[in-house]
Amino acid sequence: MRTLLDAPSKVEKRPVMGRSGPRLKRSQREALAAYLFILPDALGLAIFVALPMLFSLSLGFFSVNGFGGFRFVGLANYQRMLIDPLFRQSLWVTFVYVLILVPALYVAGLGLALLVNRPMPFVGVFRSMFFVPNVVSLVVVALTWQVMLVDKVGFINRIFEFFGVSGYSWLGDPNITLYSILFVTVWFLMGYYMIIFLSGLQEIPREYYDAARIDGAGPAATFFRITLPLLRPTSFFVLLVSLVSAVSGSQAFDLIYIMTRGGPDNSTSLVIFYIYQQAFQFNNYGYAAAMASFLVLILLIVTFILFAVTKGGRFHFT
Amino acid sequence: MPEPTAQIHAARPSRNVFRRLGPILLFCFTAVLAVLTVSPLLWMICASLKPGDETFSPNMLPQHWTLENFQYVFTASPFWRYMINSFFVAGTITVIALWFHSMAGFALARLKFPGRELIFLIIFSTFLVSLPVIIVPLFILVRQMGMVNSYAGLIIPAIFNAFGIFLLRQFYIAIPQELQEAAVIDGASYFRIYWSVMLPLSRPILAALAVFFFLANWNAFIWPLTITNDRNLWVVQIAIASFHQQYSSSWNYIMAGSAIIAVPTLLLFFIFQRQLVESIKTSGLK
């Protein structure tokens, strides 16, 4: 059977029985084939990613009940956002979370990559060991750390006790809990960023290091004058991905849902968790969407700033 | 002899000591750090093999080894059912996603058509949209489509992501033009070129992506949590999370459940780590 996707054949000029309409030129066929190839994914992305994105911007102007009824409420949801102390608190928690997580991941990822980028026995095994937390689900990670961080008798407190430090409530003290979550997040993600940095490091030509050694450059000078500048595209990627995933709570949501539920005293209630609670616990879909669109705005601004500062990751020297 | 040279000579012994000791110290440091990194996972597996009264004992290894926790997980709940659900959902998403993404990636890399750059840019920009941000409107949309509490609701929205398309496009761009031209001269249709030339060539990257997608969807939590509350549709992550709410103090059972759902992912990682690491590297490059 011949279809429109078939390549042109030598008998093209001859009229084919049973085929109606004009035959397509080769370039037209190629384009048609391409559109058909892309169609399933394009349609899916449009419906399940782009549409919700646009939908979230308009949903904020409605009140939505649990059965799918919509009522236009104008700016009411946005006004509520301004006076909601829990929303303001969640913004602050998110700010602290992002401010610590992004640099911590950068340092941990790059540090590990530098550590395992040199020849040493078992280096492949070590790389795998640093990466392995990343293949376990965040639910399992959350549950495991929750047991280990239990007050008094938990494994972590036993270790601290051994060194004469005791009495910390890692998931019960509002001043500490966010940092416990941050620690677990870094533990989970550092291996992933290690691999990204490793591939960046391995792209740097060896000659630069040889030349530096001949010139008598020490390890510090080599790192700041060669490694760091040449890693800039990788750094940009790492900063962008870690920033976006930190603001949108890609890892934090699962951890917080299992370990703290936003507590104690709302100290771990990230915006993304508060939005989820408002939507699916209190059925305030419209209000949740209004907050989500605010979050999207923040994401756009942050991404824009990152692109502007780094000139799209190209980072030319001054 | 001038002064400076003498100083260098004097400094040499200590530097030599450092040169020899440095790598050993670095090795020890790396080894300790690596062991510390995996220790929580080892602790979890050990805790799943301990009786309940030993969960909080200071020893890492069980004093009395037991499989009773695992027995309990499988008898107190239809855990097999949850595992089959997870397997079915993650497997289906992986197969369909690889099919769709490889077609789109092939077209974007190898075929000429008006709007190619623009379409690629639009697809790529959805890369930055993460699920938690759009979960409320996505849920409402999928609810209007009548897919709440259904396999369709678990599977279909999870198929589409720009990451796979991007990675496969990068791969197809690197394939020599001659292979495609030879196929065109032989009169092969574009579908034939995709199916008989490109797909076989991309077997390694498809394998890598398959592991990647399967892991990601086996581990997924927030979407299944949002779209299902029917126990028959629970995936393992939801099951263990609700287990946790139900038996919040029986940590030995919860750790056994955790071990059951973590071990397949660990095995997949150990078998396919090379491919997995390759696909992550590629994503970080350009």
Query: How far apart are the C-alpha atoms of B281 and B79, rounded to whole Å?
Result: 35
Query: How far apart are the C-alpha atoms of B51 and B56, rounded to whole Å?
Result: 10
Residues in a beta bridge with A70: A64
Which residues of chain B neighbour A248 with C-beta distances below 8 Å? 130, 132-133
Closest by CA to B213, choosing from B273, B264, B163, is B163
**What is the helix (H) or strand (E) element at residue B21, kind and residue range?**
helix B3-48
**What is the helix (H) or strand (E) element at residue A71, kind and residue range?**
strand A70-72
Distance of CA A189 to the CA centre of its chain: 10
Nearest to A7 among B23, B188, B237 (CB): B188
Which residue of chain B has the CA closest to A190? B37
Contact at CB, B280 and A295, closer than 8 angstroms: no
Long-range CB contact pairs, B196-200, < 8 A, 24+:
B198/B102, B198/B106, B198/B110, B198/B172, B199/B102
Residues in a beta bridge with A63: A71
- What b/e string do you get for B28-42 counting C-beta neighbours within 10 Å, with b at 16 or more? eebbebbeebeebbe
Question: Whose structure tokens read 């689900």?
Answer: A137
The domain ranges of chain B are: 3-48, 68-285
Contact at CB, B140 and A49, closer than 8 angstroms: no
Which residues of chain A neighbour B108 with C-beta distances below 8 Å? 34, 38
Residue B66 exposed, middle or buried by CB count within 10 Å (0-12, 13-18, 19+): middle
Distance from the B252 Cα atom to the nearest Cα atom in chain A, whole angstroms: 10
Which residues of chain B neighbour A234 with C-beta distances below 8 Å? 284
Which residue of chain B has the CA closest to A249? B132
Residue type, position B208, single letter: A
pLDDT digits (tens, 9 = 90+) for B135-164: 999 998 999 899 999 999 999 999 998 888
Local structure of residue A172 (DSSP, 8 states): T
Q: What angle do CA A67, A69, A72 make, to 5 degrees?
A: 150
Residues in chain B: 286
Q: CA-CA distances (angstroms) from residue B119 to A34, A40, B169, B198?
A: 11, 13, 13, 21
pLDDT digits (tens, 9 = 90+) for A19-34: 444 567 878 888 999 9
pLDDT digits (tens, 9 = 90+) for B190-203: 888 899 888 998 88
Which residues of chain B neighbour A276 with C-beta distances below 8 Å? 132, 135, 222
The domain ranges of chain A are: 94-270
Is omega for the bond preceding B200 within 30 degrees of 0, making it cis?
Answer: no
Contact at CB, A257 and B277, closer than 8 angstroms: no
Query: How far apart are the C-alpha atoms of A121 and A125, rounded to whole Å?
Result: 9
What is residue A160's predicted lDDT score, i.e. its pLDDT?
A: 83
Q: CA-CA distances (angstroms) from residue B271 to A169, A199, B1, B211?
A: 39, 21, 62, 10
Closest by CA to A38, choosing from B67, B120, B276, is B120
- Residue of A9, A28, A41, A147 best to disrupt the B interface, most CBs of B under 10 A: A41
Q: What is the mean pLDDT of chain B?
A: 86
Contact at CB, B104 and A31, closer than 8 angstroms: no
What is the pLDDT averaged over residues B238-244?
90
Distance from the A52 Cα atom to the nearest Cα atom in chain B, whole angstroms: 5
Contact at CB, A37 and B103, closer than 8 angstroms: yes
Residue type, position A270, single letter: L
Residues in chain A: 318
Q: What ipTM was reported for this prediction?
A: 0.87
Closest by CA to A229, choosing from A314, A126, A134, is A314
Q: Are B157 and B138 a contacting pair, CB within 8 Å?
A: yes
Give residue A14's pLDDT band: very low, low, confident or very high (50, 70, 90): very low
CATH class of the B68-285 domain in this structure: mainly alpha
Nearest to A5 among B33, B191, B237 (CB): B191
Nearest to A68 among B26, B143, B265 (CB): B143
**What is the helix (H) or strand (E) element at residue A291, kind and residue range?**
helix A285-310
Contact at CB, A237 and B284, closer than 8 angstroms: yes
What is residue A263's predicted lDDT score, i.e. its pLDDT?
A: 79
Size of interface A-B (CB pairs under 8 A): 273
Contact at CB, A234 and B107, closer than 8 angstroms: no
Asked whether residue A10 carries a pLDDT value surpassing 60, the answer given is no
Distance from the A239 Cα atom to the nearest Cα atom in chain B, whole angstroms: 11
Query: How far apart are the C-alpha atoms of B149 and B130, rounded to whole Å?
Result: 22
Which residue of chain A has the CA closest to B121? A42
Give residue A274's pLDDT band: very low, low, confident or very high (50, 70, 90): very high
CATH class of the A94-270 domain in this structure: mainly alpha
Please tell me the pTM assigned to this model.
Answer: 0.86
pLDDT digits (tens, 9 = 90+) for B50-104: 888 888 877 788 888 889 899 998 998 899 999 999 999 999 999 999 999 999 9
What is the pLDDT averaged over residues A82-96?
93
Distance of CA B194 to the CA centre of its chain: 26
Query: How far apart are the C-alpha atoms of A144 and A191, rounded to whole Å?
Result: 18
Phi/psi of residue B11, each to 5°? -80, -20
Question: Whose structure tokens read 């961080």?
Answer: A149
Nearest to B280 among A192, A248, A250 (CB): A192
Contact at CB, B37 and A130, closer than 8 angstroms: yes
Highest mean pLDDT among A68-77, A90-99, A304-313: A90-99
What is the pLDDT averaged over residues A8-16?
43
Contact at CB, B136 and A115, closer than 8 angstroms: no
What is residue B60's predicted lDDT score, i.e. its pLDDT?
A: 81
Contact at CB, B262 and A195, closer than 8 angstroms: no
